Amino acid sequence: MGQILLVTSMKGGSGKSLLSVHLLVAARSSGMTSVLCDADVQQGTALAWQKMRGTSDDVRRVHAGELAGVIKQNTVDLLIVDSAPRADTDVARMAALANFILIPVRPALPDIAAAERAVAIAKAARRPFATVINAAYPRAPETEEARQVLSKLGEVAPVDVYNRVAFARALGAGEAVTEFEPTGKAAQEINELWSYLRKHL
């Protein structure tokens, strides 16, 4: 059975789907077989990306109650699960099945408050986890302030992912930034995040 990476947040707009599709591509580029389970069935951002990509083997729609069965039948090295926000019971169930939990957090007070709930779920499930600052703005003091607050909750990924236009352009083209602009700063951030996560999987 492969590894399970849960990407979760208790607040919409944290960038779960954006990071999930990029980590899917990064995992494959590193030689791992990987599939993304889009459990955010109402939003379906990852599925929309797959449609733009013109593929059918990158993302699959999975309801929370189906995840245990999907994991049992899993044959890939890495199964990435993009959870729905504001669904504590479902996320707790998913967390119990994960090998590692990644919690994207925008550097803003409402997002940090939501991260506290996600961290509590990860701790209750006794699974390793980390928060990652996502959609940050360069040279904004809020980013460092968020890192200081999040560090009190637990581990924070050593790379911040910034709000860059390359992400929107890549997703619109059905690509990841590592494909769309492989030498750009956005691609560098994703590669660094994946390198960090791979050590924990």
Is residue 189's pLDDT more than 70? yes
pTM of the entire structure? 0.96
pLDDT tens, position by position, 110-168: 999 999 999 999 999 999 999 999 999 988 999 999 999 999 999 999 999 999 999 99
Enclosing H/E stretch for 113: helix 109-124
Strands 34-38 and 129-133: unpaired
Domain boundaries, the chain: 3-198
Q: Are 167 and 66 in contact (CB under 8 A)?
A: no
| Domain boundaries 3-198, corresponding CATH code | 3.40.50.300
Mean pLDDT of the chain: 94
